[in-house]
A and B are shown apart, each in its own frame.
Chain A
């Protein structure tokens, strides 16, 4: 079996006395879409924020291509080609599309004391990358604040794709997107997978998850019952897991009730 691009072993994260993650293990292979499923507050965002270098784990380790890594900041993760679209997108509304796109990763030329920001190159790349995801940005100097929610989400994705040479982490990337834009993003993700990028995909939409996911890891109140491949679970079973991720037997029972009541 090839070395996973990312391996998480026994990851634990506490915020004071809140247990956000407890002994979570999972692997991400190159060229797979790995869906992370679970209820609100299950710890999905915490897990990916740790993988992206925003949090330091309380215990456990992260291996990148087989070697243990300790990220001191998000820049460390980005340097390895791990890019993230956060649930809150992580864009600055007052700044332009181009400035947001290259925030923290500016193309530069050295000039005495300062690093010159190569803006014409940045403008061109930002425009091209947005084009690839299906948004024609007329003016890359336009502030993000004037863009629609979907356009912002597309920008955040395009940015992460551009910098995520090895691993792309998407935290509910399609929540603000319409049907056309969503299918565009999903197709885009599928293409990136075929190019060999490892993708962690968080979504609450079972159709999206089943359409695109190769493997699924469930999180339930900070713990994980494990990872399943597509072959091991039907879409219905997946739906059950996503509905809460509680113990399987429990869940099935619950769901039959709930489903009946709510239908």
Chain B
């Protein structure tokens, strides 16, 4: 076939256009705005070492489940059972540790394994029954929360199980979830005077909570899988048009089930980190986290109807959430305002995202 003449209608893509094409653009500009706002309005302690670790921890916790929620949303599903799964996983681990007298590492691994099975069950019910994930995962929101409360009351007498504060100092696996990283660095920074010390001589920041590491590792892994693997392509196609995907042999159902399992895994990581960082489990842990993770993913550019989204965007969305939810404390404005503000950020970011997406993808 003869060479096709160059089409003169094409202009070169500018860097700006290339940047604007990224699905996480809305989240990044939102984050810049939010940071500017709090830099101006909040007291400088918000950006002291201690303040930063404070909101980074909140962002990291949410980031862990925002990542899995984002992948699920790209695949055309979402998981409302995340919050209950967090409470459930933590309670399972705590009860095993306290009442079955198993070591912390075994309790954690068993808790995660049980959650993986539940994730598989949720995903399988979703794809086999054909019921929307809204219904199936909403059912598990209640089932898991109920199971958490019931089991805690039956075994423990109250919905709060404590006494695990020491585990992270003696158990490597518990430390991997509830411990800190970079303690040596913090001590050193304090010694050379870069980090303030408390009156008793310990640095104001003793280290970074492991959940932040988990968030970054899980986020980097998910972003890589999404962009550079066959499974990533299947995730996009499963959410973009499941019928078209099936017609070219993409195992859509298997993809979705695996993502529900991954979602349960991320929730159990969150649960384990909370239990072993604070040394206790509580039946109400993780409440509302399902919505917060969806908010983070949506701010990050994910489309509720599937087929589009960004892991980096979801992480930035989680960062915005962390900054906003913790930042109010430093502004002197009553903390109760934060939800109103967050709702507005959500709306603004999504409107922006919608505009960008329409221009980029031509899909209305």
Contact = CB atoms under 8 A, between A and B. Distances in A.
A92 B30 CA distance: 29
Contacts of A138: 7, 10
Interface string B233-252: 11011001101111111100
Interface string A18-45: 0000000000000000000000000000
B100 interface: no
Contacts of A119: 228
Interface string B36-77: 000000000000000000000000000000000000000000
Contact of B240 (A89, A93, A106): A93
B240 A92 contact: yes
A111 B221 CA distance: 13
Interface residues of B, number: 33
A75 B245 CA distance: 11
Interface string B217-229: 0000000010011
B13 A117 contact: no
Contacts, number: 109
Given A75-B249, A94-B240, A116 B362 contact: no
Interface residues of A, number: 40
Given A143-B363, A146-B361, A117 B230 contact: yes
Contacts of B233: 99, 102-103, 106, 117
A117 B228 contact: yes
Contact of A115 (B231, B246, B360, B363): B231
18 contacts: A74-B248, A86-B247, A89-B244, A90-B241, A90-B243, A93-B362, A94-B236, A94-B240, A94-B361, A94-B363, A99-B233, A103-B233, A103-B250, A115-B230, A116-B228, A117-B229, A117-B233, A131-B1
Given A91-B241, A92-B240, A146-B362, 13 more contacts: A74-B249, A78-B248, A86-B247, A90-B241, A94-B361, A99-B236, A99-B237, A103-B233, A103-B237, A115-B229, A115-B230, A143-B363, A147-B362
Interface of B: 1, 4, 6-7, 10, 13, 225, 228-234, 236-237, 240-241, 243-250, 303, 307-308, 360-363
